[in-house]
């Protein structure tokens, strides 16, 4: 691991732990009766180092990138062109992430991480293209180690610019035909889990096509011969996409700035897994928003010992889990900040025996 890939992520302070729980337990309810909402409030207050946490200008970043293997048609039933077509749909406000974020009142920002299409510079997106898609990792690394490092750094810069404007909660989503294949390979390698347990449908690979996808990815894994002892950046450069590398850097930057990270589903969790391998303390700043139907996602969550907020049988990506879960965060801090205490409401509290 090179020195340039280091973000000073401080462990979350435990100084206020007792006071945070004391405040929550004094609310007009039995202690712990609001379950995960109380733990959410505790985590947010702890990250922000305050008894009155706030959520400011929430953003969902949708990182988009293409994958060289997708041009073979061996792992994805949809053509690669769908990536840029969906990016245009995001920009026009017609995708699932747009409508869900409208309800949650989160801003959607699209990042061109490496789509195989030249977008007009005037389009309302973040232009951060690392290339016209990655290489085909069946026969070579998806990207060079140098390019991987540059992509991680660029993702960090994208997130830094957003935090500078006042945002303190960022959801990480993505779009990229073929990226469930990259995610499967990365999870299998990092977590030392058999690849067959990590490969799922993606955009709709079923039956014989799913078997073909598994065999293709198994061959690629054997070709490179990596295992969990490899550095995180080597694994990412070998199998990853530019959108995944951008998310890695963005997540590391967010945690280093005490900004809350909302992790979406399968692909976003894969990026988090790489960031976590680089700096494990990042986990204290993350909320895993939902459990994807992609089989590899449950494996990655188990490895991280992460407990997702929702299980809605979703597997779309785009950051939709971030938007779906965000109202729960709002509820948790509103409860902590606005709900009456036993003392303020004149309600008798629990009496000790």
Q: Domain holding 163: CATH number? A: 3.40.50.10210
Report the distance separating Cα 185 and Cα 181, nearest Å: 6
Report the distance separating Cα 144 and Cα 73, nearest Å: 23
Structurally, the chain folds into a number of domains equal to 1
Residue 74 counted as domain residue: yes
Report the distance separating Cα 51 and Cα 16, nearest Å: 8
What is the pLDDT at residue 351?
Answer: 62
Report the distance separating Cα 262 and Cα 90, nearest Å: 19
Residue 23 counted as domain residue: no
Residue 179 counted as domain residue: yes
Query: The domain containing residue 198 runs over which residues?
Result: 59-334
Residue 309 counted as domain residue: yes
Residue 170 counted as domain residue: yes
Burial class (CB in 10 A: 0-12, 13-18, 19+), 88: middle
pLDDT digits (tens, 9 = 90+) for 265-314: 999 999 999 999 999 999 999 999 999 999 999 999 999 999 999 999 99
Report the distance separating Cα 295 and Cα 272, nearest Å: 17
Report the distance separating Cα 316 and Cα 293, nearest Å: 9
Residues in the chain: 353
What is the pLDDT at residue 208?
Answer: 82
> pLDDT class for 343, splitting at 50, 70, 90?
confident
pLDDT digits (tens, 9 = 90+) for 20-65: 999 999 999 999 999 999 999 999 999 999 999 999 999 999 999 9
Percent of the chain with pLDDT over 70: 96
Residue 96 counted as domain residue: yes
Tell me the catalytic residues.
Answer: 318
Report the distance separating Cα 80 and Cα 84, nearest Å: 8
What does DSSP assign to residue 310?
B
pLDDT digits (tens, 9 = 90+) for 65-108: 999 999 999 999 899 999 999 999 999 999 999 999 999 999 99
What does DSSP assign to residue 105?
T
Mean pLDDT of all residues in the chain? 95
Report the distance separating Cα 298 and Cα 294, nearest Å: 8
Kindly state the helix (H) or strand (E) to which residue 287 belongs, with its residue range.
strand 286-288
pLDDT digits (tens, 9 = 90+) for 166-215: 999 999 999 999 999 999 999 999 999 999 999 986 666 777 888 999 99
> pLDDT class for 1, splitting at 50, 70, 90?
very low
In the predicted model, what is the mean pLDDT of residues 216-245?
A: 98
Residue 3 counted as domain residue: no
Residue 78 counted as domain residue: yes
What is the pLDDT at residue 3?
Answer: 43
Burial class (CB in 10 A: 0-12, 13-18, 19+), 293: middle
Report the distance separating Cα 261 and Cα 16, nearest Å: 21
What is the value of pTM for the model shown?
A: 0.95
Is the pLDDT at 345 greater than 90? The verdict is no
> pLDDT class for 2, splitting at 50, 70, 90?
very low
Quick check: 192 and 228 in contact, CB under 8 A?
yes
Report the distance separating Cα 132 and Cα 177, nearest Å: 13
């Amino acid at each position: 691991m090179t020195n340039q890939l280091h973000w000073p992520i401080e462990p979350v302070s435990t100084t206020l732990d007792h006071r945070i729980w004391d405040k929550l337990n004094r609310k007009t309810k039995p202690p712990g009766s609001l379950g995960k909402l109380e733990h959410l409030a505790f985590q947010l207050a702890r990250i922000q180092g305050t008894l009155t946490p706030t959520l400011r200008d929430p953003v969902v970043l949708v990182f988009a990138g293409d994958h060289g293997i997708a041009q073979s048609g061996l792992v994805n039933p949809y053509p690669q062109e769908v990536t840029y077509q969906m990016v245009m749909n995001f920009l026009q406000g017609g995708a699932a992430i747009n409508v869900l974020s409208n309800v949650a009142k989160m801003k959607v920002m699209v990042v061109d991480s490496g789509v195989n299409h030249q977008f007009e510079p005037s389009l309302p997106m973040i232009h951060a293209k690392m290339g016209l898609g990655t290489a085909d990792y069946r026969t070579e690394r998806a990207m060079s180690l140098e390019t991987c490092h540059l992509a991680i750094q660029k993702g960090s810069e994208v997130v830094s610019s957003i935090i500078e404007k006042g945002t303190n909660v960022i959801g990480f989503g993505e779009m990229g035909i073929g990226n469930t294949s990259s995610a499967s390979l990365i999870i299998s390698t990092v977590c030392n889990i058999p690849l067959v347990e990590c490969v799922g449908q993606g955009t709709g690979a079923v039956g014989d096509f799913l078997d073909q996808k598994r065999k293709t990815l198994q061959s690629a894994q054997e070709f490179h011969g990596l295992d969990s002892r490899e550095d995180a950046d080597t694994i990412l450069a070998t199998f990853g996409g530019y959108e995944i590398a951008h998310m890695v850097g963005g997540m590391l930057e967010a945690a280093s700035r005490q900004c809350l990270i909302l992790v979406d589903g399968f692909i976003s969790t894969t990026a988090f897994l790489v960031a976590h391998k680089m700096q494990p303390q990042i986990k204290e700043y993350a909320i895993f928003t939902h459990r994807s139907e992609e089989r590899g996602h449950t494996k990655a969550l188990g490895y991280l010992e992460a407990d997702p907020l929702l299980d809605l049988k979703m597997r779309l990506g785009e950051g939709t889990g971030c938007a779906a879960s965000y109202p729960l965060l709002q509820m948790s801090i509103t409860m902590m900040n606005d709900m009456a205490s036993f003392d303020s409401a004149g309600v008798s509290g629990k009496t000790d025996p």
